[in-house]
Amino acid sequence: MDWHNLALFTATEAALSLSPGPAVMVVIACAMARGWRTSLWAAAGILSGNAVYFALSASGIGALLLTAPLLFHTLRYGGAAYLIYLGACALLGRPSALTLPRAADTPRTSMQIYRAAMLLQLSNPKGLLMFVSILPQFIDPQAALAGQMLILAACSMIPEFFILLAYGMLAGKLGQHATAPRYALITERIAGTLVLTAGVVVALL
């Protein structure tokens, strides 16, 4: 693996991370509803999903999953349904990991956000397809696979973490200024709409 290919892969991954897809929507929604620090948990969940995809791609299981429609669609629709549920809770004012007051932040709610974000990433068919189709183009068949996958994983996930964090901090600032009850309700509705939209996008991909 040469430095040119590594730089090209990093730039490709960064460009994909900048695009406002379902992962970005969830990070923004969490930050707006509960403060920018919750975007750390959302980003960690998304990157954990990516780590699973790297492992599946390295083992060849990822390509196998793409040929197993029942398992693939079950995972996708399950994740989409959970995101739609979270978004609906926010829109209807019902309690969930996304809609509880900021003062109610606990390790439990943080883990709920982490699990929701990881489930989103694992249920996004574009994620698996991207890893299975793009990664082989940057792999040197003459070199050790494990070491290359670790390097590529770092070049993918480190830029994505900071990009998601930047989105979260910007959204958190917006949510922080909307502390009056009326504006807080609007912020919650926007967050719910983003999460619900992310679920619909995942279901339709």
Q: What is the pLDDT along the chain (205 residues), one digit of tens a residue?
A: 678 788 888 988 888 788 778 888 889 888 887 788 888 999 999 999 999 888 877 776 655 555 666 766 776 777 678 778 877 877 776 766 555 555 445 565 788 889 888 887 887 766 777 777 777 777 777 778 778 888 988 999 999 999 999 999 998 887 776 555 555 667 677 777 777 887 787 677 6
**pLDDT value of position 5:** 80
**Helix residue spans in 135-180 (DSSP H):** 145-177
* C-alpha to C-alpha distance for 89 and 98, rounded to whole angstroms: 8
- Domain membership flag for residue 16: no
What is the domain extent for residue 88? 22-204
- Widest CA span in the chain: 61
Radius of gyration from C-alpha coordinates of the chain: 18
**pLDDT value of position 115:** 87
- Domain membership flag for residue 4: no
* C-alpha to C-alpha distance for 91 and 193, rounded to whole angstroms: 7
The domain total for the chain is 1
pTM here? Answer: 0.75
- Domain membership flag for residue 38: yes
- Domain membership flag for residue 9: no
* Backbone torsion region of residue 26, taken as left when φ is above 0, otherwise alpha when ψ lies between -120 and 50, otherwise beta: alpha
Q: Are the CB atoms for 194 and 21 separated by under 8 Å?
A: no
- Domain membership flag for residue 142: yes
Q: Are the CB atoms for 82 and 199 separated by under 8 Å?
A: yes
- Domain membership flag for residue 132: yes
**pLDDT value of position 86:** 76
- Domain membership flag for residue 170: yes
- Domain membership flag for residue 158: yes
Q: Are the CB atoms for 178 and 9 separated by under 8 Å?
A: no
